[in-house]
Structure 1
Amino acid sequence: MTRRDSILREMGLGPIWRLRDAPEVALAADDGPEPAVVQDDPPPAPAAPPPRQAASPLKSLASFQNAAAEPAVARTPPADAGERTARLAGLDWEALTETILACRDCTLCEQRTQAVPGVGDVQADWLFVGEGPGAEEDARGEPFVGKAGKLLDAMLAAIDLRRGDNVYIANAVKCRPPLNRTPEAEELAACFPYLARQIELIRPKLIVALGRPAAQALLNTDIRIASARGRCFDYQGTPVIVTYHPAYLLRNPLDKAKAWEDLCFARRQMRDRQSGQGEV
């Protein structure tokens, strides 16, 4: 078996897709929370919170006194996109990373362990943009390190790429949404100037949007993956190709063949760009 055949089998383009160094049943198992959103469909309505028990007057008074004695951590009032973009203009990588790690521009900061700026080659031709950090990413501070990350690594290898080598990986939002829910429109808007500045610094030749939230953030329009596949979109002169998020593919393995087609399309577009023949 050739190396390419081995990689394609790992991606699932053999009898069954499987992750490297993992048993076949691991594909269907859920040993850690991945983004729960189905990338090409609207998210389900959140479950109603359990009823709250009334606190006794004495307990309420004690809680109030304790709260008054301890200063609360204030969240920065949200600014409009133009103000946030202007604030980030001119920041280099180090300053931008520090700003992301300290960001309190939306409610996602309140439950995160840490923000996850991104990882990879800061002068890469390829930029892959996902949705947001999951639990493992939130703990380690790096995007795509769980099961979805292993699948993404296999997808990259199938088109002769690898993490950190001419590839940068980022997310549309830099903090983990609670329970891995889909980022809300206000959260995507608050975080997008960070991604926009990263794109300005990287200057990639091609962007691959992994999943619906990433595509919507980059293209600033409602979009469905099924109808967007096989097309080149534009982000300020940089071609954008849309495909499924690896976490979605883990739940819907029959769509992995479509993702492989999208990767082959992206590779052709990159070759055309490098040869000067590509058009957005």
Structure 2
Amino acid sequence: MALHESVLEEFGLTPLWVRRGMAAQQPAEDAGVEQGAGVDALAGQGARRDDARGAAAGSASVGLAQDAPRPAMRAGETRQADSAQIQGERRAPVRDEQVASPAGARERLDDRAASARASEPSPSDAPPDDDFAWFDDLPAHAPSEARGETPALPAIHTLDWDALSERVAACRLCRLCEKRTNTVFGVGDREADWMLIGEAPGENEDRLGEPFVGQAGKLLDNMLRALTLARDTNVYIANVIKCRPPGNRNPEPDEVARCEPYLQRQVALVKPKLIVALGRFAAQSLLKTDASISSLRGRVHEYEGVPVIVTYHPAYLLRSLPDKAKAWADLCLARDTWRAAGGAPSNAAK
């Protein structure tokens, strides 16, 4: 029987003989690895017996193994058949390095697992989930040169006449800049004792860039002449608002607030001894009040430490001739206030 099995094993027929003659069993991978040494020993014994016996006996044994029923096997033959079955089920040839010893196989498996773990990227080497993490090294605020920001403008209260005039001409602090033709800065003697302040430019003022022109301007010049004053000699004339409101409407509070620093700087530069507010809007803006012009007339007020006299606007006097007498009374009060403040008569307007 041992000869028959060794011949079958030599010709590669052992898997066929075992599969036909024995009930199917569930092979275990671990059992095959542990029995590898026994398989090699049995294969060596079969090879030595094959050398001692002839090829003829092997051929007869092949025929007998295929046709005759398999007799009962001894214990040793049972173990040999089991090992042959495991070898047939695996089909693939077993390498020597795999079956040398169970301990060696486990060591090689451990080495391969360690190599696999080493080849995997560690979590610390993996890129962060945040694709924008490389921005973290950038400064929180780029320098002003990189952002292209314009440098901060000097404060208005630090400007001289030329700088102040340029600032007004380029001003875009409110929506009035969108419709203007020219800004109306002011005209007259920049060291005058008298300063006249009107409401806002009209159509003619917007076109020419000068306050109080046209018929209202001519009337104002005549009133000044009666006081021996002139706009080009000893009077400075300006407006609360430097741009014309569309349709000659009254300026909005936010427009007044944005434009007032220019007027405050003009007053600081002129250093007048007296201010005459021409019209209701100018008087209310300077004095921060909603009182009517009739209630404000006839009294001395104050703006930026300078005495203020309130009177009618020349354009109003063109429409209301009886009020010219009231306007003259206001100018007389202004002259007396100016003299009380140290003003001296001038013959320049004569």
**What TM-score does the superposition give when structure 1 sets the normalisation length?**
0.66
Q: How far, CA to CA, are the matches of 1:197 and 1:259 in structure 2?
A: 28
Runs of 5+ unmatched residues, structure 1: 1-82
Match of 1:235 in 2: 303
Alignment partner of 1:245 is 2:313: yes
2:285 to 217, 221, 226: 217
Alignment partner of 1:172 is 2:240: yes
Match of 1:44 in 2: none
Is the 8 Å Cα contact of residues 264 and 304 (structure 2) preserved in structure 1? Answer: no
Superimposed CA distance per residue, residues 145-172 of structure 1 (whole angstroms, 9 cap, x where no aligned partner) = 1111001101111111111211000001
Q: How does 1:46-61 map to 2 (within 5 A)?
A: none
Provide the identity percentage. Answer: 61
How much does 1:223 deviate? Answer: 2.4
Aligned amino acid, residue 226 of structure 2: A
Q: How far, CA to CA, are the matches of 2:309 and 2:160 in structure 1?
A: 27
Match of 1:161 in 2: 229
SS of equivalent to 1:208: strand
How much does 1:134 deviate? Answer: 0.9
SS of equivalent to 1:129: strand
SS of equivalent to 2:197: strand
Q: How far, CA to CA, are the matches of 2:304 and 2:255 in structure 1?
A: 22
Is the 8 Å Cα contact of residues 125 and 166 (structure 1) preserved in structure 2? Answer: yes
Superimposed CA distance per residue, residues 60-97 of structure 1 (whole angstroms, 9 cap, x where no aligned partner) = xxxxxxxxxxxxxxxxxxxxxxx99x820210000000
Aligned amino acid, residue 186 of structure 2: G
Is the 8 Å Cα contact of residues 215 and 223 (structure 1) preserved in structure 2? Answer: no
Aligned amino acid, residue 199 of structure 1: V
Alignment partner of 1:181 is 2:233: no
Is the 8 Å Cα contact of residues 193 and 343 (structure 2) preserved in structure 1? Answer: no
Q: How far, CA to CA, are the matches of 1:216 and 1:152 in structure 2?
A: 20
Runs of 5+ unmatched residues, structure 2: 1-151, 345-350
Superimposed CA distance per residue, residues 225-247 of structure 1 (whole angstroms, 9 cap, x where no aligned partner) = 10111100011321000000101
Superimposed CA distance per residue, residues 235-264 of structure 1 (whole angstroms, 9 cap, x where no aligned partner) = 132100000010111111111110000001
Aligned amino acid, residue 95 of structure 1: A
2:330 to 262, 267, 275: 262
Q: How far, CA to CA, are the matches of 1:216 and 1:105 in structure 2?
A: 22
Q: How far, CA to CA, are the matches of 1:236 and 1:193 in structure 2?
A: 12
Q: Quick check: which has more Rg, 1 or 2?
A: 2
Q: How does 1:20-99 map to 2 (within 5 A)?
A: 87-99=155-167
Superimposed CA distance per residue, residues 2-30 of structure 1 (whole angstroms, 9 cap, x where no aligned partner) = xxxxxxxxxxxxxxxxxxxxxxxxxxxxx
Superimposed CA distance per residue, residues 101-132 of structure 1 (whole angstroms, 9 cap, x where no aligned partner) = 11111111110001000000111100000001
- How many residue pairs get aligned? The number is 193
Q: How far, CA to CA, are the matches of 1:167 and 1:243 in structure 2?
A: 16
Q: Which has the higher contact order (CA 8 A, sep 6+)?
A: 1
1:119 to 184, 187, 198: 187
Match of 1:48 in 2: none
How much does 1:275 deviate? Answer: 6.3
RMSD: 1.7
1:152 to 216, 220, 240: 220
Aligned amino acid, residue 232 of structure 2: G
Alignment partner of 1:203 is 2:295: no
SS of equivalent to 2:264: helix
SS of equivalent to 2:341: helix
**What TM-score does the superposition give when structure 2 sets the normalisation length?**
0.53
Aligned amino acid, residue 136 of structure 1: N
Is the 8 Å Cα contact of residues 189 and 217 (structure 1) preserved in structure 2? Answer: no
